[in-house]
A and B are shown apart, each in its own frame.
Chain A
């Protein structure tokens, strides 16, 4: 059986669209915003994240807990002077996952290669 166009190939042998490789945990809008900020920092103040993303404390905490459970972020509590502060930072696993996510996005956005004329 000849197959010049690939139409006779089994479905599971066809290449998957890059969007199938998107990390769904990161692709959620709030979490993407969190990681987009964390990607450029060693650590970010929790209150700043909350204000930038226009979220309530509980809502942001939920998303951070989910990311922490995946091992993507670490949350540290400390003091600056007498003021308690909470800092959020991206873990190495989180950075690797985010970098891969960006690579997949770029692959999706790139124009598809032209199919050669038969």
Chain B
């Protein structure tokens, strides 16, 4: 039937376009890596602060956080420059923006409000807050990673788009 071939060709062209979307995501800032690293950094920040409490001083924790976050910022700039695809709109930046509000509420309530209304916080409390803060970023990062490595239909994406 004559009409079968155009539909087959069109479906294949649409699949090729979908593969293009996945490849573009995989090699751009929306591949999930930044969110996974950002979440891990937040957890390490809070765990480092908890660890510094054991020394009886917050100074080591502050130094650790400053160094770690400076490294992550530098890494993020380097990583963004090395990516071959610049996206028109980056979902990652939007996720981090909205997560920042969650972070402020989490730390404000979990640390500040706790100290004011309850008192000293228990051991590993900051690490728990770090985990609560990291999990949404890990979930977001994992979803972006999955989207960047599969195409519609759930198939693992091929290495090349093919031509």
A residues with a Cβ closer than 8 A to B are: 17-19, 27, 29-30, 32-33, 35-37, 39-45, 47-48, 52-55, 80, 102, 105-106, 108-109, 112
Contact = CB atoms under 8 A, between A and B. Distances in A.
Given A37-B85, A39-B20, A109-B14, 6 more contacts: A33-B162, A35-B20, A40-B21, A41-B88, A48-B85, A52-B160
Interface residues of B, number: 27
Scoring A32, A35, A55 by chain B CB atoms within 10 A of each residue's CB, the highest score goes to A32
Contacts of B70: none
A41 B163 contact: no
Interface of B: 3, 6-7, 10-11, 13-14, 16-17, 19-21, 23-25, 27-28, 81, 84-88, 160-163
6 contacts: A33-B20, A41-B28, A48-B85, A54-B160, A105-B13, A109-B14
Contacts of B23: 37, 52
Nearest to A101: B13
A103 B35 CA distance: 33
A39 B20 CA distance: 8
A86 to B, nearest CB: 11
Contacts of A39: 17, 20-21, 24
Nearest to A95: B88
A4 to B, nearest CB: 23
A102 B160 CA distance: 21
Contact of A42 (B21, B88, B162): B88
Given A30-B163, A53-B161, A37 B24 contact: yes
